[in-house]
Amino acid sequence: MTEIQAGTEGAAGAAATAPAPDSPPVPAIELAGVVKEYLAHGEVVQAVKGITMTISEGEFFSLLGPSGCGKTTTMRMIAGFEDPSRGTVRLHGQDVTDVPPNKRDVNMVFQSYALFPHMNVWENVAFGLRRKKVAAAEIKRRVGEMLEIVDLTGREKRRPREMSGGQQQRVALARALVNNPRALLLDEPLGALDLKLRQAMQIELKRIQREVGITFVYVTHDQSEALTMSDRIAVMNDGLVEQLAAPREIYERPATAFVAGFIGTSNLLGGTVDRVASGCAVLRAGDEGRILVAGDAHRAGDDVTVTVRPEKITISAEEPGGEVSAVRGTVSEVVYLGLYNSYAVRLADGAEITVFQQNALDSTSTAERGEAVWLSWQPRHSYAIGS
Amino acid sequence: MKRLTPYLLILPGGMWLLIFLVVPMVFMASVSTQEGDIVNGFVQTFNVSVYGEALAQYRTQFLRSVGYGLVATVVSVAMAYPMAYWIAFRGGARKSTYLLLVLLPFFVSFVLRTISWKFLLADDGLLLSPLKSTGLLPDDFHILQTTTAVIGGLVYNYLPFMILPIYVALERVDPRVIEAAQDLYASKREAFAKIVLPLSLPGVFAGVLMTFVPMTADYVNAGILGGPANTMIGNIIQIEYLTNQDYPVASALSFTLMAAMLIGIFAYARALGTENVLEAAAR
């Protein structure tokens, strides 16, 4: 599978239909107090428990969460396939809560592509334009341009079943994008592809989004995918948004324990604030250890939970000096992962801390299994979270 | 051994067809060109004129059978499609119950069911006598011995064979494909016409094959529910074999019917083959 080659004509065509620059900035998508309930075995189940958020024009926005968190239901309410039980959905300022999907100016890329099996590639891509009664000559031009963008020129006559997963994926993308929708909704579109192709497609999707300049709403359970591509991410759990922020913010400063655990590998440590000194709260950790948390949000006696990313931690044999967090433990596992080593270090209280150490030229910072070590990190890398 | 396995797998069915289909057919072909009678025996004379004579004699019944078969097939499609659609898309958790209901008549013998219809629909039967005694229907009104009764019986008896293949085809339509059509600006009606209907046509095609052929060759419904004016070619073949014992004529008629059906079906498949239909629907 080759990467998609860019064709700039299509992007220019799409940009031409974007709203006039002097119109006031209206958010592309707004959800206000949206709740989705349904009846299962006589009981009311809340798939979405109340979501209010705003997605800006041209944004690459991800809904990230484990399966069953309500992210797909949320997207389906934006597309119009599900009616919210309560709340309002607005597209470009217009209340579309009761508008059927065929009357909404958004298009969707389905999880399993949902290509029309009895139509060839060209007919699949032309479907939406034909329904909109676009003139035949223009359909021909736009479908041709779009197939060029997704690198499927010459495969117009193929049936979906005669194509690879990656090609089907691109047909699905072209079929939605050719309509110049105001927003594109993507429901785990790369889930069925193998890792290499998925990574290539992530970059491609991001490029296409930049070129056509429309809002992308991307549903995924893959945190690295969301971090790679998104301008902003809404991390969802159990029908609610746990945190809505830029990828870096979500990774570095998770708002809840769920977000910390779901995004990347993260260590959770807890302790009671011993004293507050020079802009740092100092937590006692075991007999010899200390955890420093930057900021002045905590008072002595507070119970605080902090997260630390594995790559922020340094392993050393000697007790580190200076204003750093330092805890003592025993290496229980070392896994060589090429680019870095992953250490599991068990603390005296039984907690296990994961540490990533990059494999440098000199191997002074390596530790053996069973070795007693000190773990240390900067105060700003201890991030206190709400429980 | 590995190379033989596929052949071994088709052996039982193949033998069955060879013994109980091919052999009788060869035998029947041979009988159709013999001359004689049941008392003195039949002698092979390669007399093919019997085909022309039999066909000329029973042309009306032949055409009537094809006509009944066509009408009953069209009525069956019209009744089966909405039922299959409803079960496939609205059946929910009870789909298998509804399918069982469709198949329930099969638990009673075909002939027995048709005979009970005869009782129900008789001129002074359970249905008509109360309606007549209350004056809702004229005294000379009758259902039995009419074309309607025979076609009704055909539709009733073969309807499940139309419902099942259509249901299977509809069941295989991915609901997300329908959603995709609606997402791409198709109204519910357009989504049905452009997506659901074309994708279910192979089922309709199979259903038509499975019902048109046995309905056209049927003789039970015409025999039980119909009158002298409704005689179908199946009844004629039965009479020639069992009553007149004119084996050559009966064989010739059977062969002609079979040949006509085969030609008709090949023409139908060529004209409406699934691929062609799908091509047309994709536009």
Residue B68, classed as helix, strand or coil, is helix
What average pLDDT does range A259-285 have in this prediction? 84
Lowest mean pLDDT among A61-70, A286-295, B42-51: A286-295
The verdict on a CB contact (< 8 Å) between B180 and A116 is yes
Residue in chain A lying closest to B178 (CA): A114
The number of CA neighbours under 13 Å toward the Cβ of A178 is 35
A60 sits in the region (left: phi over 0; alpha: psi -120 to 50; else beta) called beta
B95 in contact with A at a CB cutoff of 8 Å?
no
A111 in contact with B at a CB cutoff of 8 Å?
yes
pLDDT digits (tens, 9 = 90+) for A102-115: 999 999 999 889 99
Q: Architecture of domain B50-282 in CATH?
A: Orthogonal Bundle (1.10)
Residue A154, classed as helix, strand or coil, is coil
The verdict on a CB contact (< 8 Å) between A175 and B186 is no
The percent of chain A in helix, strand and coil, each rounded to the nearest 5, is 25, 35, 35
Q: Higher pLDDT residue, A72 or B277?
A: A72
Phi, psi of A232 (to 5 degrees): -140, 155
A81 in contact with B at a CB cutoff of 8 Å?
yes
What average pLDDT does range B216-231 have in this prediction? 93
- Mutate which of B174, B176, B177, B185 to disrupt the A interface (most A C-beta within 10 Å)? B185
- State the Cα angle at B280 between B276 and B283, rounded to 5°: 145
Residue in chain A lying closest to B185 (CA): A102
Enumerate the residues of chain A whose CB falls inside 8 A of the CB of residue B176. Answer: 110-112, 114
As a whole number of angstroms, the distance between CA B155 and CA A282 comes to 86
Residue A17 pLDDT: 46
As a whole number of angstroms, the distance between CA A171 and CA B180 comes to 13
Residue B3, Cβ neighbours under 10 Å: how many?
6
Band (B278; pLDDT cuts 50, 70, 90): low
Q: Higher pLDDT residue, A121 or A359?
A: A121
Residue A1 pLDDT: 38
Band (A13; pLDDT cuts 50, 70, 90): very low
Q: Which domains does chain A have, with CATH numbers?
A: 8-260 (3.40.50.300), 265-379 (2.40.50.140)
Residue A12 pLDDT: 39
Per-residue burial over A15-47, b = 16 or more CB atoms within 10 Å of its CB, e = otherwise: eeeeeeeeeeeebbbbbbebbbeeeeeeeeebb
Residue A7 has pLDDT above 70, yes or no: no
Least Cα distance to B147 among B221, B208, B73 occurs for B221
Residue A191 has pLDDT above 50, yes or no: yes
Cβ contact A185:A108 at 8 Å? yes
Provide the number of CB pairs (under 8 Å) joining chain A to chain B.
66
Per-domain residue ranges for chain B?
50-282
Q: Which amino acid is at B2?
A: K
Q: Which amino acid is at B241?
A: Y
Phi, psi of A31 (to 5 degrees): -115, 130
Lowest mean pLDDT among A45-59, A166-180, A343-357: A343-357
Residue A8 pLDDT: 38
| Tokens coding B250 | 């009966």
Of residues A108, A118, A128, nearest to B282 (C-beta)? A118
As a whole number of angstroms, the distance between CA B238 and CA B235 comes to 5
What average pLDDT does range B19-37 have in this prediction? 91
A364 in contact with B at a CB cutoff of 8 Å?
no
Residue B265 pLDDT: 85
Whole-Å CA distances, B277 to A36, A130, A201, B204: 41, 19, 35, 11
Phi, psi of A275 (to 5 degrees): -155, 160
Enumerate the residues of chain A whose CB falls inside 8 A of the CB of residue B179. Answer: 81, 101, 108, 110, 114
Residue A272 has pLDDT above 90, yes or no: no
- Mutate which of A99, A118, A119 to disrupt the B interface (most B C-beta within 10 Å)? A118
Least Cα distance to B272 among B192, B212, B217, B218 occurs for B212
Sorted by sequence, the CB contacts under 8 Å of residue A41 that are 6+ apart come out as none
Residue A269 has pLDDT above 90, yes or no: no
B132 in contact with A at a CB cutoff of 8 Å?
no
pLDDT digits (tens, 9 = 90+) for B122-163: 988 888 888 888 888 888 888 999 999 999 999 999 999 999
Residue B281 has pLDDT above 70, yes or no: no
Phi, psi of A320 (to 5 degrees): -75, 145
Residue A276 pLDDT: 85
What average pLDDT does range B107-118 have in this prediction? 92
pLDDT digits (tens, 9 = 90+) for A297-316: 888 888 888 889 898 998 88
Enumerate the residues of chain A whose CB falls inside 8 A of the CB of residue B198. Answer: 118
The verdict on a CB contact (< 8 Å) between A100 and B182 is yes
Least Cα distance to A178 among A132, A210, A114 occurs for A132
The verdict on a CB contact (< 8 Å) between A107 and B283 is no
B44 in contact with A at a CB cutoff of 8 Å?
no
Q: What CA dihedral angle connects A136, A141, A143 and A149, to 10 degrees?
A: -170
Enumerate the residues of chain A whose CB falls inside 8 A of the CB of residue B195. Answer: 116
pLDDT digits (tens, 9 = 90+) for A324-365: 899 999 999 988 888 888 899 998 888 889 999 887 655 555
- Mutate which of A127, A180, A182 to disrupt the B interface (most B C-beta within 10 Å)? A127
Whole-Å CA distances, A29 to A36, A183, A373: 17, 8, 51
What average pLDDT does range A286-296 have in this prediction? 81
Enumerate the residues of chain B whose CB falls inside 8 A of the CB of residue A103. Answer: 185
The verdict on a CB contact (< 8 Å) between B185 and A128 is yes
B265 in contact with A at a CB cutoff of 8 Å?
no
- State the Cα angle at B134 between B128 and B137, rounded to 5°: 50
What average pLDDT does range B39-44 have in this prediction? 89
Residue A70 has pLDDT above 50, yes or no: yes
Least Cα distance to B252 among B61, B17, B47 occurs for B47
Q: How far does Cα B245 stand from its chain's mean position?
A: 27
Enumerate the residues of chain A whose CB falls inside 8 A of the CB of residue B283. Answer: 123
- State the Cα angle at B172 between B79 and B81, rounded to 5°: 5
As a whole number of angstroms, the distance between CA A90 and CA A32 comes to 8
Share of chain B above pLDDT 70, in %: 96
Residue A2 has pLDDT above 50, yes or no: no
The verdict on a CB contact (< 8 Å) between B184 and A112 is no
Cβ contact A89:A78 at 8 Å? yes
Residue B136 pLDDT: 87
Enumerate the residues of chain B whose CB falls inside 8 A of the CB of residue A116. Answer: 177, 180-181, 195, 282
Residue B276 pLDDT: 59
pLDDT digits (tens, 9 = 90+) for B177-221: 999 999 999 999 999 999 999 999 889 988 998 999 999 999 999
Residue A365 pLDDT: 59
Enumerate the residues of chain A whose CB falls inside 8 A of the CB of residue B183. Answer: 79, 81, 101-102, 107-108, 176
B189 in contact with A at a CB cutoff of 8 Å?
no
Sorted by sequence, the CB contacts under 8 Å of residue B58 that are 6+ apart come out as B233, B236, B253
Residue B106, Cβ neighbours under 10 Å: how many?
10
Distance to chain B for A329, nearest Cα, Å: 53
